[in-house]
Amino acid sequence: MRIAIAGGSGFVGNALAENLLEKGHELFILTRNAANKHHHSKNLQYVQWLNKEDSPEDELEGIDVLINLAGESINSGRWTPERKKRILNSRLTATKEVLRIISRLEEKPYTLINASAVGYYGTSENETFDEDSKSRGSDFLSETVKCWEMEASKAEEWEVRTVFCRFGIILDKNEGALPRIALPYKFFAGGTVGSGNQWVSWIHLKDVVKGILFCIEQEYLEGPVNFTAPNPVKMKVFGQILSEVLSRPHWIPAPEFALKIILGEMSALVLEGQKALPGKLEAYGYNFLFTDLKTALTDIYS
């Protein structure tokens, strides 16, 4: 297939691009500066976008799939009003440009895969959410996701099948939330974060990559898709399993008030959560590589 990725040099995009190239697909990575990229594969082309004079559509005619992962990382620092504005605007700007590209293509891609997040549902210690659940959230993450999905859904005007990948906590050794959670344990100072009762709806990075390919292949799968493993855990259990895998003690708690002082509103990423289940992936027959947390963490740290 001919596949274009916006955000192809980010956390998920990097792993996904590598996998797609290994499988022999022709790949177009949308980037602000194509000149400084090394074309290390005959199947890989960098296409410049989001600058005033760019016309990426000229190089993307005939693509089968467009994958939009672009947006400033929510883990990139304290959520000041200015940073929150950048987090939202970066997603909307990229998505509007994706829509503009689709509008200009004579032959439309048959699928748009758009990143999203389980933050859509809001936070809860008691409820369980699947793709049919309505949002209960009015917090920053929930509102950001709702705006993002609403914008991306406009692709359906051109009869482009649209999938919203609502990512949970993506587990990887070097990027995402896990390195920050694991750091205190490596210094023998790990323990329960906050109350420990908040849910962690996690997924291994390898299942994210495999799951995106699965969504591309399932021509009748559309709309929101929860990218979470079937067995979410409470934060206290997450810490206990992590300490076991790392052979480190689980004993010094990180109190909620201290994290709020250090991280501000961004502390919600570790202090609050939701129990989100992968209803659609399972209904369509997706086989997870990692369904239990210990196996996933053992793979990451082996």
Q: What is the pLDDT of residues 183-208, one digit of tens each?
A: 999 999 999 999 999 999 999 999 99
Q: pTM above the 0.85 mark?
A: yes
**How many structural domains are present in the chain?**
1
Q: How many residues make up the chain in this entry?
A: 302
Query: What's the pLDDT score for residue 40?
Result: 58
Phi and psi dihedrals of 105, rounded to 5?
Answer: -75, 130
One-letter amino acid for residue 260 of the chain? K
One-letter amino acid for residue 102 of the chain? I
pLDDT per position in the chain (302 positions), as tens?
999 999 998 999 999 999 999 999 999 999 998 877 766 578 999 999 999 999 999 999 999 999 999 999 998 788 999 999 999 999 999 999 999 999 999 999 999 999 999 999 999 999 999 999 998 889 999 999 999 999 999 999 999 999 999 999 999 999 999 998 999 999 999 999 999 999 999 999 999 999 999 999 999 999 999 999 999 999 999 999 999 999 999 999 999 988 898 889 999 999 999 999 999 999 999 999 999 999 999 999 99
* Structural domain for 175, as ranges: 2-301
CB 227 within 8 A of CB 168: yes
Query: What's the pLDDT score for residue 233?
Result: 98
CA-nearest of 53, 65, 70 to 28 is 65
CA 139 to chain centre: 18
Q: CA–CA distance from 152 to each of 98, 120, 160, 221 (Å)?
A: 8, 14, 11, 16
Residue with token string 């891609």: 109
Query: What's the pLDDT score for residue 263?
Result: 87
Q: Rounded to whole angstroms, how far apart are CA atoms 160 and 141?
A: 26
Domain of 115, CATH number, reads 3.40.50.720
Q: Rounded to whole angstroms, how far apart are CA atoms 143 and 52?
A: 29
CB 129 within 8 A of CB 277: yes
